Structure 1
Amino acid sequence: MPRVIVTGGAGKLGRAVVTELISSGWQVVVLDKVRPPHPEAVFVPVDLTDYGQVLDATHGVEERYDTVDALVHLAAIPAPGVVPDQATFANNMNSTFHVVTAARRTGVRTIVWASSETVLGLPFDTPPPYIPVDEDYPPRPESTYSLVKTLEERMAAELCRWDPQLKMIGLRFSNVMEPEDYAAFPSFDADARLRKWNLWGYIDARDGAQAVRLALESTATGMEVYIIANADTVMSRPNAELVAEVFPGVEIRGELGQNDTLLSIAKARAQLGYEPRFSWRDQVPR
């Protein structure tokens, strides 16, 4: 059985990722400050800002594991404004450099990490260049958190240039949701601007976990980024109405669909075989 380190495995997305990977035959080692609710996973409490701890844990822990085949890096201060900007930058940038460097120096060549929809220009106070948005335009970070995600993507590109055998896949996750979050969704229809900040997108944690598994299974090498969202928006109101109200004048590329995601997942569908399995519409009476 292959073994994968998952950082942030106790988090909202991390819990779903650990469940998905264990059920798919992976041995999972979680590096986090909090124990995940998975008895099958090996938990190692690690401060990711301490490179010595990260490198040691990547090499193995006596009587528990001794080799690692892949890395999934999810741990981070999860959004802008949670802590002072300097703390966001220091924690997230250094943690990512530490886990990626430790993985490379222990022979790991398969790395999947959580990038972010924020690199697309969220909260879209400056409108997007076109709708639906995709991976074809350069990052537009508008916060310290997003700046770090942009730098991580550039770092991955350079590391893969240095090492052609390395695979680094950045998943630009939308706003992560669990089923208990869906009860609030019908209230969003009252004001189109409540959720305009990410083009009314979301990602069910279970579908996010599917994307992580597919990225690990990919045989590609080099660096790639993918938008990972659900197939629909958080809104019942039609896309054409929302876009006309909130983003008048923005170029429309292709079909908007009635409630199709405006964070294009076409690339992930084509290259990873990603297909969302869950929707809030199946779980909230309307």
Structure 2
Amino acid sequence: MTLVAVTGGSGKLGRAVVRELLDHGYDVVNLDLAAPREQLCPYTRIDFTDYGQAVEAFTAIDSRYRGVDAVVHLAAIPGPGVTGNAATFANNVTVSYNVFAAARAAGIRNVVWASSETLLGLPFDTPPPYLPVDEEYETRPETAYALAKRLDEEMAAQFCRWEPDLKMIGLRFSNVMEPGDYAAFPSYQDDPKLRSWNLWSYIDGRDGAQAVRLALEYQVPGLEVFIIANADSVMDRPSAELARELFPQVPWKRPVEGTQTLLSIDKARRLLGYEPRHSWR
């Protein structure tokens, strides 16, 4: 049995990840500043801006556990504008460094963390280089939040260089949704500009959790990053039609059919075996 520490396990995506891992036979501990709505697994309050707490969290919590086998790092200020730019950057970069370094100090060699779709150039005021977008072009952070995520990926690359047997996987999640969020989707249909900022994409939290589990089970050491989105868009209109209307000059890397996502999940499908199972439809 593998014990997985989930930082930020009380959050929107964290709750789905905890449930997914438990459903697949993992032991899980939730490490978060906020207590969970429903305690599905042991919970310990940890402030990951404090490196000492991070080390302790991955090595031993008296009466709870002694050491963990893998880390899923989701703890962060969850998006741009939640607080000030400098506060977002300082918190998120510090927390990620502390998690990565503490995991290394604890001898953990399996780390999966939440990167972000924002690295692709959101909100696409400057159009993307091609469609559908993928992991192949240079990241384009446009906010302090996205810049912090970019530095997370660079930090991970260096940690993997220092530790050749370390596996770190960054998942560039699209906008996370729960089933209760889908009631708002019909309101997007009349104005395609409302959701053009991320090419009309989303990720059901349950499918995001599936991607986390598959990333934990991926066996190849080193750094990998994957875009994680649902297979479809938030819109009823065909994706190619929407793109021709709002991004008419952007070339196509390959065709898309129907309401297929414009955030390519081809790499995640190919290497992780990821296949979304849920849709707002």
Q: Which runs of 5+ in 2 are unaligned?
A: none
Partner of 2:137: 137
The aligned counterpart of 2:204 is: 204
1:234 equivalenced with 2:234 (yes/no): yes
Q: How does 1:46-61 map to 2 (within 5 A)?
A: 46-61=46-61
1:240-255 to 2 correspondences below 5 Å? 240-255=240-255
| CA–CA distance in structure 2, aligned partners of residues 38 and 61 of structure 1 | 21
Specify the alignment match of 1:256 in structure 2: 256
Question: Residue 278 of structure 1 corresponds to which residue in structure 2?
Answer: 278
1:99-146: per-residue Cα shift (whole Å, max 9, x none)?
111111011000000000000000000000001000000100000000
Larger deviation: 153-162 or 28-37? Answer: 28-37
Residue 235 of structure 1 and its aligned partner are, at CA, apart by 0.2
Q: How many residues align?
A: 281
Secondary structure class of the residue paired with 1:200? coil
Specify the SS of the correspondent of 2:61: coil
The one-character-per-residue Cα deviations of 1:21-74 (angstroms, maximum 9, x if unpaired) are 011111111110122245441111011101111111211111210021000000
- Using structure 2 for the length normalisation, give the TM-score: 0.98
- Is the 8 Å Cα contact of residues 19 and 38 (structure 1) preserved in structure 2? no
C-alpha distance in structure 2 between counterparts of 1:244 and 1:45, whole Å? 48
Quote the Cα distance in structure 1 between the aligned partners of 2:171 and 2:225: 6
CA distance in 2, matches of 1:157, 1:54: 20
Percent identity for Structure 1 against Structure 2: 62
The 5-angstrom pairing of residues 1-286 of structure 1 reads 1-281=1-281
Question: Within 2, Cα distance between the matches of 1:172 and 1:154?
Answer: 14
Amino acid at match of 2:109: R
Letter in 1 for 2:141: P
Separation in 1, partners of 2:161, 2:197: 34
Q: Determine the C-alpha separation between the residues in 2 that align with 1:188 and 1:87.
A: 31
Residue 27 of structure 1 aligns with an amino acid whose one-letter code is D
Q: 1:226 to 1:252 in 2, by over 3 A?
A: same
3-state SS of 2:17 partner? helix
Over 4 Å off, 4+ runs? none
Q: CA RMSD in A?
A: 0.8
Letter in 2 for 1:224: E
- Asked if the contact 2:19–2:40 (Cα under 8 Å) also holds between the matched residues in 1, the reply is no
Contact 2:18 2:40 in 1 (8 A): no
Checking the alignment, whether the CA contact within 8 Å between 1:116 and 1:174 is kept in structure 2 is yes
Q: Tell me the secondary structure at the aligned position of residue 131 of structure 1.
A: coil
Rounded Cα–Cα distance in structure 1 between residues aligned with 2:240 and 2:110: 40
Q: 1:223 to 1:239 in 2, by over 3 A?
A: same
TM-score (normalizing by structure 1): 0.97
Q: 3-state DSSP class of the match of 2:278?
A: coil
**1:158 and 1:140 mapped to 2: Cα distance?**
20
Specify the SS of the correspondent of 1:160.
helix
Distance in 2 (alpha carbons) for counterparts of 1:125 and 1:40: 41
* Secondary structure of the structure 1 residue equivalent to 2:118: helix
Unaligned 5+ segments in structure 1 are 282-286
**Paired residues of 1:120 and 1:140 also in contact (CA < 8 A):** yes
CA distance in 2, matches of 1:57, 1:158: 23
